[in-house]
Structure formats: structure tokens, C-alpha cells
């Protein structure tokens, strides 16, 4: 039986786009982010625009076809999270990312909460049937510019949360529960500006967690943090998590 002296603290890793930039996936909101470079691109992932305009849907499917996200590989930061989990520290990942790289790195899927869904699946907006993204992209490559659901003929979309859609209340509820229970909350690669997800950092502090922020740019929650690291994520996060695995905090 373990005593309080040997009990390992629950660590919540809250990851944003910045954790995946070393894998070749662009940050959307950073200084060189996609939304800043091409505001029109935001329409491709805005629910009302997508549902009402077949041309937006066709452009969206081409964007998915050309996206590097499904071809990307986990980087040192994703791998560091897996090493921490395998060291015996209780770890839960709450991610804003839709790239699936935490799971691809070896993090058990049941320990990853994808707040904004996944780009690796598609969902029918009529019957809610889910299927593999690769299958839909094969149909696009074969000449279907806007593939419809094979079951009901409804409009297909990526199984991600588009602008104008609400987060899955079940996933968000689980994320809040983890946040309230954790003793260390590490926000990495997130601007902490997209609500309600970003508010988890404040909830963690309110419930007594130690808040550590690893991000290149300032965030609205820096003043609440016990530690703010501005170093590159690919080196800063592995060093931080190695210390946690050994039982030390910055």
C-alpha cells in the first residue's frame, strides 16, 4: 500500500497548437499563424459557412487533402508526455489539437481528452455516423469534390469542432473534472485565449493546482502561474517532465 509520501500527484497536460509545430503543423493564432496570414481560410472551418456553401465545402476538402496534419509524426514534446505517463505518474492530457499526435506517440486514448475533436475522422451532420477520414479523402481523390454520407446522403464534415459549434459537453465535463482534481496543470503551446477551454487554467488554480505555462508568447494567465517558461517547447517540456518524473518541480 502506498503512503501519502510516495503518492504521485495527478498531472494535467493542457496542450495547444504550439506543441505540434515541431511536427510541421502550423500554429493557427501565433504571429505567423494561418488565421493571421489568411483570414479567409477561417471560413473553411466555420460551421454556418460550411453547411450553406458547397464551394466552401469543396475548398475545405481540398484543404484536408493537402493538410500535413494526418502525415505528421509526434515530436519530442509528445514523446516526453508519454515517458512521464509510463514512469508511473498519473497523467491526463487535455488537448485543443485535432491531430491525434498524443495517441500516435503512445499515450493511451482513454487518457486523452480532445476538446476540439479529431481530424482523423469524419461525421455526418444529419445521422451523426462517424467514419475514417482517410476513406473520405480517398473519395475526394477519386473525383468526389464534396462526398456525402453513404448511409443517409447528409453533409460530411471533419469530426472537429468548427467555429460556431459547441464543445462536446461530455468531453468538456471530463476535462473540468480532471482540472479540478489535478495537483499540477501544465499549459503548453496554447495562447489560452480560446474559451471555454482556456478557462481551465484558472479553474486549476482556483482548486489549488500548481500552474506551469510553457509558451513562446504571453498568455492571459501568466500572472496566475507558478512558473512561465518561454524556451522552445521541444526542449523545455521534456526537461520539465523529466523533473516531474523524478519528483521535482521547478
| Cβ neighbours for 195, distance < 8 A, ≥ 6 positions apart | none
Helices (H), the chain: 34-37, 47-52, 54-66, 76-86, 101-105, 133-141, 169-181, 200-206, 233-245
Going along the chain from its start, the domains and CATH numbers come out as: 1-25+73-116+166-250 (3.40.50.1220), 28-67+119-160 (3.30.1600.10)
Coil, helix or strand for 110? helix
The whole-number pLDDT of residue 29 equals 52
The whole-number pLDDT of residue 1 equals 37
Check 78, 102, 116, 207 and give the catalytic one: 116
Nearest to 79 by CA among 12, 16, 19, 17: 19
Please report, in tens digits, the pLDDT of each residue of the chain (250 residues total). Answer: 344 445 678 999 999 999 999 998 876 554 445 555 566 788 899 999 999 999 999 999 998 988 877 889 999 999 999 999 999 999 999 999 999 999 999 999 999 999 999 999 999 999 999 999 999 999 999 999 999 999 999 999 999 999 999 999 999 999 999 999 999 999 999 999 988 888 999 999 999 999 999 999 999 999 999 999 999 999 999 999 999 988 766 6
The whole-number pLDDT of residue 8 equals 79
The whole-number pLDDT of residue 6 equals 58
The whole-number pLDDT of residue 40 equals 72
Q: Catalytic site residue 116?
A: yes
Amino acid at each position: 500500500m502506498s503512503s501519502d509520501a510516495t503518492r504521485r500527484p495527478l498531472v494535467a497536460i493542457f496542450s495547444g497548437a504550439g506543441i505540434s509545430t515541431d511536427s510541421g503543423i502550423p500554429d493557427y493564432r501565433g504571429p505567423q499563424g494561418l488565421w493571421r496570414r489568411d483570414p479567409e481560410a477561417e471560413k473553411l472551418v466555420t460551421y454556418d459557412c460550411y453547411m450553406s456553401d458547397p464551394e466552401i465545402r469543396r475548398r475545405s476538402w481540398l484543404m484536408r487533402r493537402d493538410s500535413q496534419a494526418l502525415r505528421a509524426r509526434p515530436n519530442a514534446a509528445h514523446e516526453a508526455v508519454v515517458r512521464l505517463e509510463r514512469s508511473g505518474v498519473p497523467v491526463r492530457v487535455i488537448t485543443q489539437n485535432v491531430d491525434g499526435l498524443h495517441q500516435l506517440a503512445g499515450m493511451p486514448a482513454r487518457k486523452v481528452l480532445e476538446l476540439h475533436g479529431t481530424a482523423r475522422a469524419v461525421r455526418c451532420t444529419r445521422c451523426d455516423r462517424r467514419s475514417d477520414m482517410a476513406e473520405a479523402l480517398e473519395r475526394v481523390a477519386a473525383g468526389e469534390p464534396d462526398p456525402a454520407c453513404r448511409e443517409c446522403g447528409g453533409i460530411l464534415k471533419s469530426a472537429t469542432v468548427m467555429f460556431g459549434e459547441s464543445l462536446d459537453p461530455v468531453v468538456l465535463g471530463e476535462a473540468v473534472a480532471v482540472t479540478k482534481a489535478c495537483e499540477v496543470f501544465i499549459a503548453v503551446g496554447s495562447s489560452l485565449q480560446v474559451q471555454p477551454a482556456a478557462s481551465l487554467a484558472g479553474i486549476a488554480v482556483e482548486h489549488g493546482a500548481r500552474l506551469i505555462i510553457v509558451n513562446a508568447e504571453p498568455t492571459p494567465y501568466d500572472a496566475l502561474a507558478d512558473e512561465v517558461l518561454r524556451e522552445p517547447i521541444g526542449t523545455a517540456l521534456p526537461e520539465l517532465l523529466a523533473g516531474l518524473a523524478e519528483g521535482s518541480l521547478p
